[in-house]
Amino acid sequence: MKKLIYLFFLLSISGTIFISCQKAGSDVPYQAPELSLPDVPLDYTDDFPSHFANVQGFDNTPFDNPTTDDGSTLGRVLFYDTKLSLNNTVSCGTCHQQNKAFSDGKKLSPGFEGQLSTRNTMSLINPRFSTTVTWTGQTIPYEEQVLQPIGNHLEMGLENLDHLATKLQKVDYYPELFDKAFGTTEITHELIAKALSQFLRSMKCSQAKYDQGFNNDFANFTALEKMGKALFEDDDNGCANCHRSVNFYYGNEMNIGLDMDYADEGAGNGTFRIPSLRNIGITGPFMHDGRFETLAEVVEHYNSGVQPHPYLDWRMKDSNGEPKRLDLSETEKQALVAFLHTLTDEAFITDVKWSDPFE
Ligand code: HEC
Ligand code: HEC
């Protein structure tokens, strides 16, 4: 009996060794990752609807990192992989959730140790056409910007970028994905950044109710939405002078008089980059600090709440240099909110191309 137990013991040890060698051994055949990567290509295409013609010129795709199907597919896996954080708990997709147009519905967002980010998570809207990035309007390419959250001590905490590359090199599904995308199995943080940037540039948001009506006189709009559109475009209200063109975006930073004394001065003097308003109906809470819960509160700020900050943008002032009061009626306020809701693109937030491949 003793012998039998001994034999059993020996067998189980050697079994364990055998199994662990198999895992670590280099001659083990490559295991396809258990990722549901759909066949839908993610490649760069110019097939934005014609009304995007005047923003096409802002395309920020660099010559040395064209968007390809394999590159953005790798970027997609990286985007949703929690291994990009120090303790494997947070991915880009934790804060940038597709069903909320890549925002997260929170005022501030918990990072890898549960500590909160210092600003509200931005939605990701047609990143290909952005001229500056983040709330402070940094003039750096995505190839640099995407490494910021990874290294950030509150967000993902992987401060040493060489460790990041070494870490991913050991993950079984990456070598093949890097090989397909860049023709090398050797992972570097530069290639990680390139792939993530390609995934961002593959995003296409162009099928909102607003887009469907664009070449049809907005015949699909309700009377209230039409009224809101007119108010939005009205020079006296000024919305469209800042939230410009078809992305309702502008790369410059401005002070819109949220406070007299800003706790976060943004790019300096309380200025923040003008965010895109696409999908704004689903990306609250609003502003760089998530201070407003509803669009009605945002509209009320512009209507009656603008503070006489010394750096208040001139578009926010009346002819006497005082903060503008729009004096909108209740119906007009509701109309502006109704118009903002026409900018929600259901196709973008449900398309499997940009969804989580680990789910
Ligand atoms: C803990 C939450 C969190 C995580 C994780 C996170 N982000 Fe962000 N993201 C933010 C916040 C907050 C901002 C605004 C930062 C600022 O302005 O200071 C932002 C801004 C951005 C922007 C700028 C958008 C614009 O319109 O300018 C991009 C692009 C972006 N993140 C991509 C990523 C990528 C790629 C990853 C993963 C490598 C990632 N984020 C991980 C919270 C997060
Ligand atoms: C002077 C330029 C300017 C004008 C005019 C302007 N905005 Fe803004 N808007 C901004 C800036 C800058 C921000 C971000 C401010 C911040 O977070 O501190 C912003 C933020 C917003 C947000 C929240 C965005 C988000 O992602 O949280 C909404 C909604 C909005 N504006 C709608 C409007 C409407 C509606 C009007 C017209 C009544 C208008 N804006 C007029 C510059 C402007």
* Terminal alpha carbon distance of the chain: 49
130 lines ligand 1 (CB under 6 A): yes
- Identify whether the C-beta of residue 146 lies closer than 8 Å to the C-beta of residue 197: yes
Instruction: Report the residue among 210, 227, 242 best suited for mutation to probe ligand 2: largest number of ligand atoms under 8 A from its CB.
Output: 242
Q: How far apart are CA 351 and CA 76, in angstroms?
A: 13
Rounded to the nearest angstrom, the distance between the alpha carbon of 268 and the centre of ligand 2 is 17
- Identify whether the C-beta of residue 214 lies closer than 8 Å to the C-beta of residue 206: no
Q: How far apart are CA 343 and CA 195, in angstroms?
A: 28
- Identify whether the C-beta of residue 78 lies closer than 8 Å to the C-beta of residue 196: yes
- Identify whether the C-beta of residue 340 lies closer than 8 Å to the C-beta of residue 295: yes
- Identify whether the C-beta of residue 206 lies closer than 8 Å to the C-beta of residue 345: yes
Please name the amino acid found at residue 5: I
Ligand 2 atom with least separation from CA of 285: 27
| Per-residue exposure over 211-238, b if at least 16 CB sit within 10 Å of its own CB, e if not | bbbbeeebeebeebbbbbbebbeeeebb
Q: What is the chain's alpha carbon radius of gyration, rounded to the nearest angstrom?
A: 24
Rounded to the nearest angstrom, the distance between the alpha carbon of 314 and the centre of ligand 2 is 14
274 lines ligand 2 (CB under 6 A): yes
Find where tokens 């976060």 sit: 264
Q: What angle do CA 111, 258, 334 make, to 5 degrees?
A: 95
Counting ligands in written order, the one closest to the CA of 153 is: 1
Q: How far apart are CA 348 and CA 207, in angstroms?
A: 7
48 lines ligand 2 (CB under 6 A): no
Counting ligands in written order, the one closest to the CA of 115 is: 1
- Identify whether the C-beta of residue 69 lies closer than 8 Å to the C-beta of residue 43: yes
Counting ligands in written order, the one closest to the CA of 343 is: 2
> pLDDT truncated to tens, each residue of the chain (359 aa)?
444 444 444 444 444 433 333 333 334 443 444 555 656 666 656 689 999 999 989 999 999 999 988 999 999 999 999 999 999 999 999 999 999 999 999 999 999 999 999 999 999 999 999 999 999 999 999 999 999 999 999 999 999 999 999 999 999 899 999 999 999 999 999 999 999 999 999 999 999 999 999 999 999 999 999 999 999 999 999 999 999 999 999 999 999 999 999 999 999 999 999 999 999 999 999 999 999 999 999 999 999 999 999 999 999 999 999 999 999 999 999 999 999 999 999 999 999 889 998 88
Contact residues for 2 (Cβ-Cβ < 8 A; gap 6+): none
Ligand 1 atom with least separation from CA of 156: 5
Counting ligands in written order, the one closest to the CA of 237 is: 2
Q: How far apart are CA 296 and CA 343, in angstroms?
A: 16
267 lines ligand 1 (CB under 6 A): no
Please name the amino acid found at residue 80: Y
Rounded to the nearest angstrom, the distance between the alpha carbon of 280 and the centre of ligand 2 is 11
Residue 179: which region, alpha, beta or left (left: phi > 0; alpha: psi -120 to 50)? Answer: alpha
Residue 3 CB-density burial (10 A; 0-12 exposed, 13-18 middle, 19+ buried): exposed
The residue among 80, 107, 79, 331 whose CA lies nearest residue 222 is: 331
Ligand 1 atom with least separation from CA of 288: 17
